[in-house]
Amino acid sequence: MTSTPSKAGAATPATLSKVEQAKADLCGLELAPRLKDLAAAGWEAMDEATLTIRLKWLGIFFRPVTPGRFMVRLRLPNGVIRAEQLARLADSVDRCGEHGSADITTRQNLQLRGLLLEDMAPLLTDLEAVGLTSRQSGHDNPRNITGNPLAGIDPEEWIDTRPLVEAIQAALLGPGGPRNLPRKFNVAVGGAPDSFLLHNDLAFLPAQRGADLGFTLMVGGFFSAQRNALAVPLGLWAPAEALPLVTRAVLLHYERHGNRTQRQRSRLMYLVDELGLEGYRRAVLDTVAELGGDEALAALEPHDGSHAVQRAPRNLCGVHPQKQPGLYWVGLNVPMGRLDAAAMMGLAELARSYGSGELRLTESQNVLISDVPGAHLAALLAEPLLQRLPVAPGPLQAEAVSCTGNRYCSFALIPTKTTAQAVVEQLEQRLELPHGVRTHWTGCPNACGQPYLGQIGLMGAKARQDGQMVEAAKIYLGGSMEGGGQLAALHDKGVPLSDLPDVLEALLVEHFGARRRTAEATAAPDR
């Protein structure tokens, strides 16, 4: 049985938008064999749809702020990367000189900047050689699938999310996976009590059903300039082995019925709204049956949506014992998630020298080195690179999350990363905080920096100061990632960046128990 097409999803060729027309004309994956020729002809020779839309199917992003210098976004399922893979990426960034850098994203992923179009064909070949891919990592595709960054080493985990995330990715990138979604789609798998994932279109949260541990399905979470929503329970429970097929079914249904006429109203939650939760659940079940038959359908059970995720994510920086006796993970803070080639090479070397050669990327844009024997800890902690990437960052620095900002993004209204770093450093000099405070910085209403999840959220804006328009930030307060979560609410519609440290200082004192340091302490040389 198949679902009835929804009204919004039924776009006829005559009504296709520019994006939909581009996707319908040619799938970006078809460009892979032509990359070398495209580079030889130059990016200016490409039509706009190829340059700005189709290349993203290969993970290649034209950057309007740095035309000619491209970005490549990878896929790192569950945020896991091996040292030799990171070293290979570091080499690509290194040869871009002053233009090269890499950002850890809020989806446990990496994106490389500063690349020339000539770099793409050899880079994609090299990625494949070291077991990486950048396929379908941008635009209307299922984005990098996130999981517990501590999967497999976490003393608190309910379930190791790595094989599940891998299996879902394989299902989505395989022959039956989606190639032309109406919009982007975020999938995540929780495995621990602090796996807050309700900002995803589809989140699998660990949930008991009787004696069985499986996952309850949450759907519809997303942020945008128009609307922000946390995922809601779909009322279904699935065993771990069903996750790839269920994900395919959800995406297949979305591919068929999502809104293709209004891109601002095409994320999954709008489809849920249109069909109603009950109608949407039935449609998903129908699609599961279509793909997997009665046996697949029988694996799914009704569920009340209760789950085992109750806490906000841990601060993963520092030295922590793994569930494997004698081994530790060492969490390093990457200021605002930005790495240069030297830091990438250094991290790869540290992982090889002191751990098992594996690294993990976190949604808070930090990096973990796993499997470090206790006997190696002292030497690792003495490594010079840890001066730049500290294991014990300040309470604001540890979980400060930032979008790219206007250095690379034409939507951003402020230089997000540099502003965030400067303000955080100032505040940590001025204040003592009893606990960490999550600040989320984003440059525009698209909310890539997830400001609504921050205990303090900041969004780039403009404001008038002394009669002139200046760069500013809106302030949001009250975001929570505990239990059912809560979105931050607007507190101030525009604080000039020059006033931001003072305003945030007052907020931290008033709402978060911060205490002002004495003048002597502030002036101390080690601060």
Active site positions, annotated: 73, 183-184, 443, 448-449
Nearer to another protein, 66 or 356 (CB): 66
Nearer to another protein, 14 or 382 (CB): 14
413 binds another protein (CB under 8 A): yes
Choice from 45, 298, 506, 524 touching another protein (CB under 8 A): 45
Pick the piece of the chain touching another protein (CB under 8 A) from 40-48, 273-281, 378-386, 447-455: 40-48
To the nearest whole angstrom, how small is the minimum distance from the Cβ of residue 38 to another protein? 10
Alpha-carbon torsion, ordered 487, 493, 499, 504, to 10 deg: -20
Choice from 34, 323, 493, 515 touching another protein (CB under 8 A): 493
Length of the chain: 527
Nearer to another protein, 51 or 448 (CB): 51
Binding to another protein, residues 250-289 (CB under 8 A): 262, 264
226 binds another protein (CB under 8 A): yes
Binding to another protein, residues 311-350 (CB under 8 A): none
Choice from 49, 116, 291, 386 touching another protein (CB under 8 A): 116
Task: Give bridge partners of residue 187 from the DSSP assignment.
Answer: 202
What is d(CA 366, CA 221) in angstroms, rounded to the nearest whole number?
A: 23
How does DSSP classify residue 204?
E
Pick the piece of the chain touching another protein (CB under 8 A) from 116-124, 192-200, 388-396, 501-509: 116-124
DSSP per residue, 98-115: GG-EEEE-TTS-EEEEEE
Choice from 5, 27, 34, 68 touching another protein (CB under 8 A): 68
461 binds another protein (CB under 8 A): yes
To the nearest whole angstrom, how small is the minimum distance from the Cβ of residue 406 to another protein? 7
Strands annotated E in 478-523: 489-496, 515-516
By CB atoms closer than 10 A (0-12, 13-18, 19+), residue 523 is: exposed
Residue 454 has φ and ψ, to the nearest 5°, of -80, 145
* Number of Cα atoms under 13 Å in the Cβ half of residue 243: 30
What is d(CA 98, CA 76) in angstroms, rounded to the nearest whole number?
A: 25
What is d(CA 14, CA 5) in angstroms, rounded to the nearest whole number?
A: 18
Number of residues that bind another protein (CB under 8 A): 45
Pick the piece of the chain touching another protein (CB under 8 A) from 42-50, 147-155, 243-251, 392-400: 42-50
What is d(CA 127, CA 73) in angstroms, rounded to the nearest whole number?
A: 12
Nearer to another protein, 43 or 511 (CB): 43
Residue 236 has φ and ψ, to the nearest 5°, of -130, 145
Nearer to another protein, 210 or 384 (CB): 384
What is d(CA 374, CA 245) in angstroms, rounded to the nearest whole number?
A: 41
Choice from 26, 32, 94, 492 touching another protein (CB under 8 A): 94
Q: Find the helix or strand (DSSP H, E) in which 81 lies.
A: strand 80-82
Question: 3-state DSSP: the chain helix, strand, coil percent, rounded to 5?
Answer: 40, 25, 40
Residue ranges in contact with another protein by CB under 8 A: 18, 39-42, 44-45, 48, 51-52, 62, 64-69, 91, 94-98, 116, 118-119, 129, 225-226, 262, 264, 406, 410-411, 413, 444-445, 461-464, 469, 472, 493-494
